[in-house]
């Protein structure tokens, strides 16, 4: 078991043709519409349209559907007994029925208290995101002092396509999902952004500076580009 094995994808239970969810309307509506909602293709049509017609229509629209699906990312859910990584360590997720919502960590377990299992992710994120923010702010202040790289301000945000960035006036933005990965990877991303306060681009000079503060930056960068998307899609 590695920290890369924590992903559980949501299952689609409704009726479907070629992976497209079919929603038939009993109303007098005569229109057929096809859209992508929450990463799933959905076709709405009047009740009287038969499956054969829909099959032909979906095949005709396949290119459009595939193109749009690639843009949307699959939703990653949280399930009882799954393993979840925090700072490179795996924790067992436990669902505990409770009227009031809270999350607590005891040893290797994360206990999530809520009414229904599907509410776990939301309750868990309310606990995890502030924890991440606190950790990343502390870490950037340590690394900034250690390497004498100053920054103007730090913001922790939810991004789906980047781990961090640095503005021209030295404000640093970090993705809260960094907390899911090993400390070495987090430090690499923070050092990368702090180095941008000296060199704004990705020139040779930039990487030369990064290498002074993180001797393993090449391996860390490679690991992140190989595995990062799995973590960035959560939340
Ligand atoms: Zn950069």
Query: What are the tens digits of pLDDT across the range 105-115?
Result: 999 999 999 99
On average, the pLDDT of the chain sits at: 90
| 38 CA to centre of ligand 1 in angstroms | 30
- pTM value > 0.85: no
SS3 of residue 5 by DSSP? coil
For residue 202, how far is its CA from the centre of ligand 1 (angstroms)? 6
Map tokens 């992976």 to a residue: 19
- Is the separation of the CB atoms in 14 and 38 below 8 Å? no
**For the chain, which domains are there?**
10-71 (no CATH), 125-232 (3.30.2010.10)
Question: Where does the pLDDT of residue 24 fall: very low under 50, low under 70, confident under 90, or very high at 90 and above?
Answer: confident
Report how far ligand 1's centroid is from the alpha carbon of 61 (Å).
38
| Ligand 1 centroid from CA 87, angstroms | 22
Per-residue pLDDT, averaged over 15-34, amounts to 84
What is the CA(207)–ligand 1 centre distance, in A?
10
The confidence score (pLDDT) of residue 94 equals 97
Distance 200 CA to ligand 1 centre (A): 8
With 0-12 / 13-18 / 19 or more C-beta atoms within 10 angstroms meaning exposed / middle / buried, residue 28 is exposed
**Cβ burial, residue 44 (10 Å; 0-12/13-18/19+):** middle
pLDDT for the residue numbered 70: 67
Query: To 5 degrees, how large is the angle CA 175–CA 177–CA 170?
Result: 20
Question: What separation in Å is there between the alpha carbon of 189 and the centre of ligand 1?
Answer: 9
């Amino acid at each position: 078991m590695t920290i890369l094995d924590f992903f559980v994808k949501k299952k689609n239970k409704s009726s479907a043709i070629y992976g497209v969810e079919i929603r038939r309307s009993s109303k007098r509506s005569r229109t057929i519409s096809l859209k992508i909602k929450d990463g799933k293709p959905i076709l709405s049509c009047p009740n009287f349209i038969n499956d054969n017609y829909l099959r032909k229509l979906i095949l005709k629209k396949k290119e459009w559907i595939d193109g749009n699906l690639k843009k949307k990312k699959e939703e990653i859910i949280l399930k009882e007994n799954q393993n979840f990584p925090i700072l490179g360590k795996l924790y067992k997720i436990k669902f505990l029925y409770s009227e009031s919502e809270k999350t607590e960590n005891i040893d290797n377990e994360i206990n999530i208290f809520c009414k229904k299992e599907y509410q776990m992710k939301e309750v868990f994120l309310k606990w995890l995101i502030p924890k991440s923010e606190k950790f990343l702010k502390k870490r950037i202040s340590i690394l900034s002092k250690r390497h004498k790289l100053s920054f103007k301000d730090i913001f922790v945000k939810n991004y789906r396509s980047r781990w961090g960035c640095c503005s021209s006036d030295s404000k640093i933005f970090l993705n809260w999902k960094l907390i899911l990965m090993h400390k070495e990877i987090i430090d690499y991303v923070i050092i990368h952004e702090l180095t941008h306060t000296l060199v704004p681009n990705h020139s040779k000079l930039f990487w030369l500076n990064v290498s002074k503060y993180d001797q393993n930056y090449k391996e860390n960068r490679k690991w992140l580009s190989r595995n990062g998307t799995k973590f960035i899609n959560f939340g």
